[in-house]
Amino acid sequence: MTAGFHTRGQPAALARVAAWVAGEWSPSSILVVGPARAGKTTLALDLAAGLLCLDADAAARPCRACAACRKVEHGNHPDLHRLAPSGPGGQVRIDQVRGLLSELALLPMEGRCRVAVVETAHRLNPDAQNALLKTLEEPPPAAVIVLCADDETLLLDTLRSRCTRLRVGPVEPRVVADLLVERGLADAARAARVARAAGGRPGVAIALAGAPEALLVRSRLARTLLDLAAAPRGRRLAAAPALLGDAVALADAADGSAEPPRPAEQPGSTDAEGPGAAPVPTVSPADRRRAAAALIAAWREVARDLAVVAAGGRAEIRDPELLEDFERVAAGLDRAGIAAFMGRLDGLGAAVEGYANPELVVDVLLLAWPLGRQAASPAA
């Protein structure tokens, strides 16, 4: 397998891509599915680079040295088209898809084909999916369309059925840590910690490595959730704004925002520690849904680590510095209750994507978060 591929830790998916490139053939429609920031777009761009590479030896593509490879690397190859969500609601809209399809209908300008990469394809709205479906049914003769989706269930069954599926999964922390060290983003010790915190997602690890404060925010968010596992109702609900504020900051860092926006302050409000505490941050209306989704994602990691510790798997948690906190809370919880809550997280996470009220979803989860034996009273 050529060293020209940038994808790490996805041997099965990368082997198929390498075979397509070496054989100078690719399916016209491909669906790459896997966790957010696990390397789906990188894999799609590896395929694009291989198909557009000018090296005479197909087995050596992508060479990363020819003019075509350099243009793919810099994002200015005329036969490579990238589509991503934009505008209110973060959707891929029908006008974007129509513009893409008109480009794909033209003959390639420099390469053997045109390649379209649709990032976050699960955000294609229904009209956009139907417009794309017509092209997948009768694809242009020299075009390859790659859809990258975190959740394929949000795509039409008819659209999925017309795509060749590639699945990517979490990458081993060791592989992610090596990547950070090779890129000079962290020393070995910090790279190992960031890789564990990223949960096997190289894209998240790269972003977190460039945002030192992100690990502190993540630890604070996890510690707050662990403390709330045994808290009464009133304190749980009062903690919601601060949790959402931390979730926005963490999401900004994970997305690679250079200067994450600071959440607005809610005048006169205080956190659960009582009078005199600092004002509780609240998110702007534009960030409400994004904050809830980010909080649910972080909560899922905490619940997962809590279940792991409850089962005796101390070495597998993502933040070893919180081991004592996890052990303290796990000792007072029922493992079946943790598992049931994780299922509820998944269901309500999908509800947020489906435009449920994000604050209501967070309140429901706070009240459902399993009570430990330490919580004697039902209300504050």
Domain that holds residue 162: 11-167
Give Cα separations from 153 to 31, 45, 51, 150, 369 (angstroms).
12, 23, 29, 9, 26
Same domain, 162 and 178: no
Please state the domain count of the chain.
3
Tell how many helices (H) and how many strands (E) occur in the chain: 16, 7
> What average pLDDT does the segment 14-26 reach?
94
Residue 110's pLDDT band, with cuts at 50, 70 and 90, is very high
Q: For residue 11, is the peptide bond before it cis, meaning its omega torsion is within 30 degrees of 0?
A: no
Cα–Cα distance for residue pair 33/39, rounded to 1 Å = 10
> What average pLDDT does the segment 164-168 reach?
96
Does a structural domain hold residue 379? no
307 vs 376, which has greater pLDDT?
307
Does a structural domain hold residue 136? yes
Q: Is the pLDDT of residue 305 over 80?
A: yes
Q: In the numeric block, which tokens belong to residue 264?
A: 């607005």
Q: Name the residue type at position 157.
A: D
Cα–Cα distance for residue pair 188/221, rounded to 1 Å = 25
Same domain, 34 and 163: yes
Does a structural domain hold residue 380? no
Same domain, 89 and 192: no
The per-residue pLDDT for 77 is: 97
250 vs 153, which has greater pLDDT?
153
Nearest to 173 by CA among 165, 181, 162: 181
How much is the pTM? 0.77
Give Cα separations from 280 to 4, 217, 231, 261, 262 (angstroms).
48, 15, 18, 15, 12
Q: Is the pLDDT of residue 267 over 60?
A: no
Same domain, 199 and 321: no
Q: Is the pLDDT of residue 89 over 90?
A: no
Residue 373's pLDDT band, with cuts at 50, 70 and 90, is very low
Does a structural domain hold residue 82? yes
Quickly count: other Cβ atoms within 10 Å of residue 88's Cβ: 6
Question: Within its chain, how far is the Cα of 284 from the centroid?
Answer: 22
Q: Is the pLDDT of residue 198 over 90?
A: no
CB 149 within 8 A of CB 123: no
The residue ranges of DSSP E strands in 25-86, in sequence order, are 29-33, 80-83
Same domain, 121 and 63: yes
Question: Within its chain, how far is the Cα of 234 from the centroid?
Answer: 32
The per-residue pLDDT for 318 is: 78
Same domain, 185 and 244: no
